[in-house]
Amino acid sequence: MINVLAAACIGLLSGLHAACWGMYKDAPHEGFSLRTYSRSAVLGLTIGAVLGLVLPVDAGAASGAAVLFGVIYAIERALAELYKTFFRQQDQSRYTIPMQFALLGVPVEDRLTRGLFGMAYLGVMLGMLALVYGYQHAAAAQSIYGRVLVAAAGAWISAFGGAWKDAPIEGFQILKFFRSPLIAMSWALVLAYLTPDLVLLTLAATGYTIASTETYKTFFWPSRPRGKFAGKPVHFPAMLRIRQRVVPLYVAIWLTVIVAIAVGLHNVQPVRAEAAELAHG
């Protein structure tokens, strides 16, 4: 139960992290809703508790906490985007880029058709994880660079999904398309020292990639509207000031995560050194 509680706390932090950048970018256009803001936090907490119960990961250790944060982030974002894209019914005229599933930029109105596409998309994601799992158990030897390349699989799905949604409106941007996979490989190169499980590594690298890109797009360019609101008026100008209140929490979570990664890497060095000594002795 201690591991479940620790994992639930990590999930809460992961969900709050996503809620902060979501509120920061959307509130000036849509207003603030406590229900919307707390949705990711509740979902992250729930996912964390479930993973703490079923995964053989020590959520109390720095390395386990760091990996779980990324894994929960990826799962929470996948579930949230799956719902918003394929199952939520919403007026799309408020957006420049449709948030519902669209074909060539035209939203698919039929809910059954969207739902079927959503189940197919979920199948692709689960199939990708199955292939990663199969590779991990089939490959006799796995180099660190091979693991890193495989761990970018989730980011490739994200890149294709983003291009499908944005390209009909914004045009295809090659640097934007390759951004997520490259960032995922960079994160995987670090996280590979914290977990031997390739599936968890893939999910964690994907989660940290989302967190990194959203941090850059949201907080490094705060005056630039996101693509889905490009050209749309700011209906709640007071939120441009109020939204600054979430920044300290957002930074605190990032610092906590970075410290956990650093401590995890520091702790793993003596273990690696001892293993190398035993191998040569």
> Could you list the mean pLDDT of each consecutive 10-residue stretch along the chain, which spans 281 residues?
94 97 92 92 96 92 96 96 90 80 86 94 93 83 79 84 78 82 94 93 96 92 73 87 95 97 85 40 45
pTM of the shown model = 0.89
CA distance 48 to 67: 12
Tell me what pLDDT residue 38 has.
94
Structural domain spans, the chain? 2-280
CA distance 129 to 239: 39
Which amino acid, residue 166?
Answer: D
Tell me what pLDDT residue 80 has.
93
Tell me what pLDDT residue 209 has.
95
Tell me what pLDDT residue 278 has.
37
Tell me what pLDDT residue 226 has.
67
Tell me what pLDDT residue 102 has.
86
Pick the closest to residue 152 from 135, 167, 140, 169 (CA basis).
Answer: 135
Tell me what pLDDT residue 97 has.
80
Q: What is the 3-state secondary structure (H, E, C) of the chain?
A: CHHHHHHHHHHHHHHHHHHHHHHHHHHHHHCCCHHHHHHHHHHHHHHHHHHHHHCCCCCCCHHHHHHHHHHHHHHHHHHHHHHHHHHCCCCHHHCCCCCCCEECCEECCCHHHHHHHHHHHHHHHHHHHHHHHHHHHHCCCCCHHHHHHHHCHHHHHHHHHHHHHHHHHHCCCHHHHHHHHHHHHHHHHHHCCCCCCHHHHHHHHHHHHHHHHHHHHHHCCCCCCCHHHCCCCCCCCCHHHHHHHHHHHHHHHHHHHHHHHHHHHHHHHHHHHHHHHHHHC
Q: Which long-range contacts (CB under 8 A, 24 or more apart) does 249-255 make?
A: 249/16, 249/20, 250/17, 250/20, 250/21, 250/24, 250/219, 253/13, 253/16, 253/17, 253/20, 254/17, 254/215
What residues form DSSP beta bridges with 102? 107
